[in-house]
A and B are shown apart, each in its own frame.
Chain A
Amino acid sequence: MKNRYGRKNGRYVFPVVVLVMLLAFSFVFALLTGAERISLHDVFSSGSDTDFSRIILLNLRLPRAVLAALAGVLLAGAGAAFQLFFRNPLAEPGIMGISSGAALGAVAAGVFSMTPVLGGTVSPVNAGAFCGALAAGVLVSALGGRRSGPSSTVALLLCGTALGTLYSALTSIILLLREKELHAMYVWMLGSFNGRGWDELSFIALPAALAVILLLVCAVPLDLLAGGERTAASLGVEVNRLRVLVMAAGALAVSAAVCAGGTIGFVGLIAPHMVRRIYGAKSRALIPLSMAAGAVLMLLSDTLARTIAAPAEIPVGVITSLLGAPFFISLIFSDRGLRNGY
C-alpha cells in the first residue's frame, strides 16, 4: 500500500540537504576568511609564503572552525533536548545552572591557577569550565532525582535555577576579591574561540562524541513527551530513565561546549526554534536538524567575530546575541513562523 509517508519523508530530504550545504559553505567560509586572507591556491602550492598560509589554516583556522561547529552542535542539541524534555520553549542549555557552574569552575580555576588533573595542555580556565559544568550537572541531577514522577521534573528545574543563582553569586564574590582578573574573566564569560586549538579539541572529543550519541538516542522518546510524562509512560517510555539520559547528555554537551568556547548564549535557545519555525515542528527530526543549524550559526558568528574588527576580536557570544535576537524576533512574527509555530 502506498501511503503518504513516502512523500512526507521526501519532504525531510530537502531541509537536510539545504542544511548540509549551508554547513559546508559556512565551514569553508570560516577557513578562508580572517585577518589573513587565504586562497585555496596558496594552500595547495609550495613556497615559503604559502607555508605561512598553510600553518594558519591547519593550526589556527581548522581546529577553531571544528571547535566552533562542535560547540554549535552541542549547545543546539542540548537546547533542543531540554526544550523537549521540559516541554518548555524557553528551555536552553543554561537552564539547569550548568552554564553558571561552568563559569564558576572557570573563574575558580583561572583565579587560583588550579590546574586540574585532567587539564594537561588545555588552559586551566577551560578545563575548570569543563569540570564546573559537569559537577553542576551531576549535582542538579542528584538533587532533582530525589523525587520521582512528574513532580521531579519541576523539582529539577527549580533546583537548577536556584543552584545557577548560587554559582553566579560565588563567581561574583571570587571576581570581586580578585579584581585583576575581572576583565579577563568577563571576556571569557562572553564566550570566544580565540586561542583555542587542537588541544581543546582532543580534550573534549570524547565527552562531545558521547553527548551527541546520547542526544540522538533520546530523540525519539523525547518526541513522545509532547503530551506529558504520563502519556509518554503509557506509550512505552521509561520517563525516569529518559530523565537521567537527558541530564547526562546535557551536562556532557554543555561541559564540552564551554570548554571549547566559554559560555556562549542564545545559540542553544534559538537553533531549535529556527528549525521549528522554518520547517515546522519536526518531532523526531528536531534534535539532528537543530544540531546542524547550531553549527551553521556558530561558524558564521565566529567568522564574523574574527573579521568584523580584525585584527581585534569581538567575543562570539556578543555576535550570537546581537544578530540572533533580531533574527529570532523576525521569525516569530513571520507568516511562515505563525503557520508552523504556535
Chain B
Amino acid sequence: MDTEKQLHTLSVQNVCASYGMSVILKNLTLSVHSGEIVCLTGPNGSGKSTLLSLLAGIVPGTLHIDSADGMPSFDDTPVGSLGRKKAALHIAYMIQEEKSAWNYTSRDIILTGRYAHTVNGVYQQSDYDAVDSVIAAMGLESLADRRIFSMSGGETQKVRIARALAQEPDMLLLDEPVANLDFGYQAELLTFIKKLAHEKNFGVLASIHDLNTASRFADRIALLPRGGPCITGLAERVLTPDNLAGVYSTSFGVFTHPVYGCPQVYTI
C-alpha cells in the first residue's frame, strides 16, 4: 500500500469547552490534513493548549465539553474511541512543559516514542533503528547518550521533539515547540519539521506565540481569539491589521518579508 498517497484529517466541529464557569473554546471548528503545517496562534488563555490536548484525545479531567458532536475525530473515527495505543500510532502530541522524574539518557527517552509500535512493550531492532535515524536526522548525536538532568531547557525540548517524531505519526501536535530554543535552532528545527512533514506526508499543528515565526513556516494559520471561533487560512488572509487588532486588542502593522514574501507584523 502506498502510504504517501493517504490523506488523513484530524478535526473538531463546533466544539465548546469550559473549565467550571470559564468558557475556553466556543464554536470552534478546525481541521488539519496530511502534509500541511498549521500554526495555532492567539493570546494567552485563548485555549491553544486545551485545543491541542482535545485533538490528541487527552482531555483534562476538569474540562467540560458542552456539545456531544464536539469530540475530535481522526478520519471520521472519534479519537477517544481509538484507545491510547492506537491513537498514539496516528497522533503524536507534545505537551508544553514536562519534567522527567528520572535521570534517563536521551536515547532511552526517545525510544519511548516507539511504545505504540511495539507488541506488549517489547522494543524490536526496527524500533532502535527508527530512534537512530531520528537522532541522525535531527543532528542530536552529541546528546544521545547524555542524561536528561544535565541538559538545558532547549536540549530537553529537542529530545522531546525527537521522541514525538520517533512515533512516526500521521498527525504531529506540538504545544510551543520552539519556545525554549534560540533563534538559529528555531528556524532550523521548523524548517526540518516542515520538510519532513511534506516528505513523510504527516500533518502538523503547532502552537507558536511569535506571529512572524508562525507566518514564515505555516502553510495555514489558525488565529484563536479568546472565546470565539478561530480564523483560519493563509497567512496573508489571517494576519491582517483588522483581525489582529480584534484578537489582541492592540494596533498592528503588517509588511511583507523581504526574503520569504510572507506577511510580518509589528505592534504600534
Contacts and interface: CB of A to CB of B under 8 A. Distances in A.
B128 A228 contact: no
A178 interface: no
Given A220-B115, A220-B121, A236 B101 contact: no
Interface stretch (A128-136, A143-151, A304-312): A143-151
Contacts, number: 107
A237 B115 contact: yes
A3 interface: yes
Interface residues of B, number: 47
Given A220-B115, A230-B58, A236 B132 contact: no
Interface string B2-46: 000000000000000000000000000000000000000000000
Given A3-B128, A234-B88, A235-B115, A148 B61 contact: yes
A230 B103 contact: no
B84 A237 contact: yes
Given A1-B129, A1-B132, A3-B132, A236 B104 contact: no
B98 A231 contact: yes
Interface string B93-137: 111001111111001110011011010111001001100100000
A219 B123 CA distance: 13
A170 interface: no
Contact of B98 (A219, A220, A228): A228
A235 B167 contact: yes
Nearest to B88: A236
Contacts of A8: 107
B198 interface: no
Nearest to A151: B61
B95 A236 contact: no
A221 B61 contact: no
A88 B101 CA distance: 7
A227 B100 contact: yes
Interface in A236-252: 236-239
A289 B115 CA distance: 21
Closest 8 CB pairs of A and B: A149-B61, A220-B121, A236-B88, A236-B116, A87-B101, A236-B85, A234-B93, A5-B128
30 contacts: A1-B132, A3-B132, A4-B144, A4-B145, A5-B125, A8-B107, A147-B61, A220-B115, A221-B121, A224-B115, A226-B102, A226-B104, A226-B109, A227-B100, A227-B101, A228-B95, A230-B95, A233-B58, A234-B88, A234-B91, A234-B93, A235-B112, A238-B84, A276-B103, A281-B102, A281-B104, A283-B108, A284-B121, A340-B103, A342-B103
